[in-house]
Amino acid sequence: MEITLYCLAVVAAALITGLLGRFMVPFLHKIKFGQTIREVGPSWHKNKQGTPTMGGLMFIIGGLASAFVCIAFLWMHGGAETQLMLVRIIAGALMAVGFGLVGFMDDYISIKKHRNLGLTEIQKLVLQFIIAAAYLVSVSMAGGTTETVLPFIGTVDLGVFYYFIAAVLIVGMVNAVNFTDGLDGLNSSVTLVVCLTFSVIAMMLGMRGLSILAAAMVGALIGFLFWNANPAKVFMGDTGSLFLGGIVCALAFGINMPVLLLLVGIIYIVEILSVVLQVSYFKLTHGKRIFKMAPIHHHFEMCGWRENKVCFVFSGVTLIAGILAVLLVRFGV
């Protein structure tokens, strides 16, 4: 029955998300919720101006609806989770929705004011740390500890430092996922592989509800790619990218191995590091650059790679990292 539920979660989420596009894409066009393209971006991105954004609402609705219906069915048929795991799942989903709401505000302001930037960086960071703290407090109140699992090492208790490290990791990873959203289908395809990896790992560890949540997000992103693959008919916007960052973190903390984010999320990390290095080097050298453009996916674009090639290579790297993560858990936990 469990395998059937996993498959149902994937298929239902894909169908719901894909069908939502039939209504949401024309609606977003109608109300003129179009993307504003940055002046400093690649010149050929100008033809994307006006493409509907905030499409992340499609996979948020499709993924979560499918996940919680399937999880509820599992629990009703004797597959109940512990209270702690139940809180990890629900609080994790709510954390992702919270980040999505921050993204929604950012998108809405930028659209209404006809500019690429919405909320200020400080405003976003403050809201993001509040959301991360609320998640960590919720898990702690449900019986969560400051211990984390490191493959081949075992359980490590970080004490009070756990909360600081966890909050910084969550907010940092959420923003790294956001930086990965810059090409048609890139963030969708990379995060699809990340969610698939965590679904397999959660299944291996017997965390069925969490595995179903991850599987549902796989399906939702498959459905979204129908609309978001090059040439994109809709963008996920910060609404979608920040939500995905929250889901990725919820899955990693749900299995109590957030350290795996450093491996499975290697593309996210490279993306945000490329921006940090580019900005730092630019300031230190008074105008020189390491990359042709940052984040690094734009560098490869400037080198002549097509958007589909960037998506394929970045997703392939993530798949290799995901396989390594599965092997680490299989033989190291």
Rounded mean pLDDT for each run of 10 residues along the chain, 333 residues in total? 86 97 90 63 60 93 96 79 88 98 91 72 96 97 93 93 97 97 95 98 94 97 96 94 98 97 97 95 90 92 93 98 97 86
Q: Give the gyration radius of the chain's Cα atoms.
A: 19
Position 51 scores a pLDDT of: 85
Position 8 scores a pLDDT of: 94
Q: How far apart are CA 267 and CA 179, in angstroms?
A: 10
- Give kind and range of the element (H or E) at residue 179: helix 161-179
Q: How far apart are CA 59 and CA 275, in angstroms?
A: 27
**Under 8 Å between Cβ of 218 and 70:** no
Count the Cβ atoms, other than its own, within 10 Å of residue 152. 8
Count the Cβ atoms, other than its own, within 10 Å of residue 223. 28
**Under 8 Å between Cβ of 196 and 13:** no
Q: Which backbone phi and psi does 180 adopt, to 5 degrees?
A: -75, -15
Position 134 scores a pLDDT of: 97
Position 37 scores a pLDDT of: 56
Q: How far apart are CA 269 and CA 261, in angstroms?
A: 9
Q: How far apart are CA 110 and CA 114, in angstroms?
A: 6
Position 47 scores a pLDDT of: 63
Instruction: Write the single-letter amino acid at 86.
Output: L
Q: How far apart are CA 181 and CA 295, in angstroms?
A: 9
